[in-house]
């Protein structure tokens, strides 16, 4: 579960299916999808 911010809804969303990813600079991030509108969400740092 990751707390993320959807820029389209302008609201905080939780994505149970968020996936941990590594950015190009080697830092951890989380990639998810807004459960309400389906917009991709991205969050820097671990969940």
Smallest distance from Zn ion to CB 24, Å: 25
**Residue 37 touches Zn ion, criterion: CB under 5 A:** yes
**Residue 21 touches Zn ion, criterion: CB under 5 A:** no
> Can you tell me which of 4, 6, 18, 30 binds Zn ion, judged by CB under 5 A?
6
- In whole angstroms, how far apart are CA 26 and each of 9, 20, 22, 29? 29, 12, 6, 9
**Residue 34 touches Zn ion, criterion: CB under 5 A:** yes
Number of residues that bind Zn ion (CB under 5 A): 7
**Cβ atoms 32, 41 nearer than 8 A:** yes
Write out the two tokens for 43.
């969050």
């Amino acid at each position: 579960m990751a707390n993320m911010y959807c820029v389209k809804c302008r609201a905080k969303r939780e994505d149970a299916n968020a996936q941990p990813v590594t950015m190009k600079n080697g830092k951890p991030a989380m990639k998810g999808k807004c459960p309400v509108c389906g917009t991709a969400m991205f969050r820097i740092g671990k969940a």
